[in-house]
């Protein structure tokens, strides 16, 4: 019970520091708006975003009927924008979860066991980090075929090495600390040392990595969809831009292009502001500087 109180108190201080960080607060507020949009999409005056309309409704500018206008197949842009937040956030969160969990596992194992295992794992990490990310993702997405889950898979496949590398260097320094040594002395096994002693101390780092990975995954989904590798059955912001671009009427239909662009930029910038704030707050000495 006592342990839990300490943990809760630590968490409370963390969020207090995060919200007093101007970038952190700004990022958090904007992300919350998009989360709200994604969760309550069906209640926000939307229709089915993929439903094509009548011929006379094609490329309508914003009006009381179509709040954000319509596209070249008379689909409602307001609904596409709202439902698009679901795709971006789903891809972001799921890909980040997979990336951080697998990256942490590799980093933990490599850092803890060392020797040949570390050498082999780190060479693989180095190799992946050397490859240009976007071309690799494009190639994989093109080969696997267009679907949201393939995009999640592709993003995770390409981005786990960064986390593995960061976690490993943290584990290398953690495993020499006295508390790990103490635990080893009273007979703790490898599993207990890795997951019971070292892992809890890597959690803050994992959290910081997760925010960065969400940002990258959202960006990757947007680019891949924009290049025409998105899922045609669920229209994301990147897909909206792709269709607008292919339609050839992009110049005369600002209402079609602006909502997805503003949404993509706002969401990505917010996550990277939040990411900066999280790394600042987790920096050793920041808490003390702010008087905690």
Angle, alpha carbons 74-77-79 (nearest 5°): 110
Nearer of residues 20 and 42 to other proteins, judged by Cβ: 20
Counting contacts by CB under 8 A, is residue 250 touching other proteins? yes
Pattern 251-290, other proteins, x by CB under 8 A: x--x--x---x--xx--xx-xxx--x--------------
For 177, list phi and psi in degrees, rounded to 5: -70, 150
The least CB distance from residue 45 to other proteins, in Å, is 26
Nearer of residues 23 and 74 to other proteins, judged by Cβ: 23
Sites for other proteins among residues 212-231 (CB under 8 A): 215, 219, 222-223, 226-229
Pattern 21-50, other proteins, x by CB under 8 A: --x---------------------------
Contact region with other proteins (CB under 8 A), list: 42-50, 81-89, 184-192, 246-254: 246-254
The least CB distance from residue 219 to other proteins, in Å, is 6
**How many other C-beta atoms lie within 10 A of the C-beta of residue 111?**
25
Sites for other proteins among residues 120-149 (CB under 8 A): 127, 129-136, 138-140, 142-145
Nearer of residues 194 and 240 to other proteins, judged by Cβ: 240
Nearer of residues 113 and 245 to other proteins, judged by Cβ: 245
Q: Are 104 and 166 in contact (CB under 8 A)?
A: no
- Partners of residue 76 on adjacent β-strands: 70
Nearer of residues 55 and 130 to other proteins, judged by Cβ: 130
Counting contacts by CB under 8 A, is residue 85 touching other proteins? no
Q: Are 153 and 97 in contact (CB under 8 A)?
A: no
Q: Are 59 and 70 in contact (CB under 8 A)?
A: yes
Counting contacts by CB under 8 A, is residue 210 touching other proteins? no
DSSP class of residue 165?
A: H
Nearer of residues 103 and 112 to other proteins, judged by Cβ: 103
Nearer of residues 23 and 172 to other proteins, judged by Cβ: 23
Of 122, 198, 241, 281, the residue at the interface with other proteins (CB under 8 A) is: 241
The least CB distance from residue 192 to other proteins, in Å, is 36
The binding site for other proteins (CB under 8 A) comprises: 23, 127, 129-136, 138-140, 142-145, 215, 219, 222-223, 226-229, 241, 245, 250-251, 254, 257, 261, 264-265, 268-269, 271-273, 276
């Amino acid at each position: 019970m006592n342990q839990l109180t300490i943990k809760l108190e630590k968490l409370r201080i963390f969020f207090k520091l995060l919200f007093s960080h101007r970038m952190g607060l700004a990022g958090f507020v904007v992300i919350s708006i998009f989360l709200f949009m994604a969760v309550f999409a069906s209640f926000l005056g939307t229709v089915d975003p993929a439903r094509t309309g009548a011929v006379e409704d094609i490329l309508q500018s914003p009006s009381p009927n179509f709040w954000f206008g319509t596209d070249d197949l008379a689909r409602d842009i307001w609904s596409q924008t709202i439902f698009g937040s679901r795709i971006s956030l789903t891809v972001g969160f799921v890909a980040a979860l997979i990336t951080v969990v697998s990256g942490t596992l590799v980093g933990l194992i490599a850092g803890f066991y060392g020797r040949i295992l570390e050498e082999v794992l780190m060479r693989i990490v180095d190799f992946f980090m050397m490859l240009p990310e976007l071309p690799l993702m494009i190639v994989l997405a093109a080969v696997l075929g267009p679907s949201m889950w393939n995009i999640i898979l592709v993003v995770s496949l390409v981005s786990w090495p960064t986390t593995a590398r960061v976690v490993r260097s943290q584990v290398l320094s953690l495993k020499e600390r006295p508390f790990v040594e103490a635990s080893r002395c009273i007979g703790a096994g490898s599993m207990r040392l890795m997951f019971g002693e070292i892992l809890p101390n890597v959690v803050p780092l994992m959290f910081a990595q997760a925010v960065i990975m969400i940002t990258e995954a959202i960006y990757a989904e947007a680019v891949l969809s924009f290049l025409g590798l998105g899922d045609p059955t669920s229209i994301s912001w990147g897909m909206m831009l792709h269709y607008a671009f292919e339609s050839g009427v992009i110049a005369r239909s600002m209402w079609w292009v602006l909502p997805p662009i503003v949404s993509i930029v706002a969401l990505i910038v917010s996550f990277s502001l939040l990411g900066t704030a999280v790394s600042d707050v987790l920096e050793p000495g920041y808490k003390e500087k702010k008087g905690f």
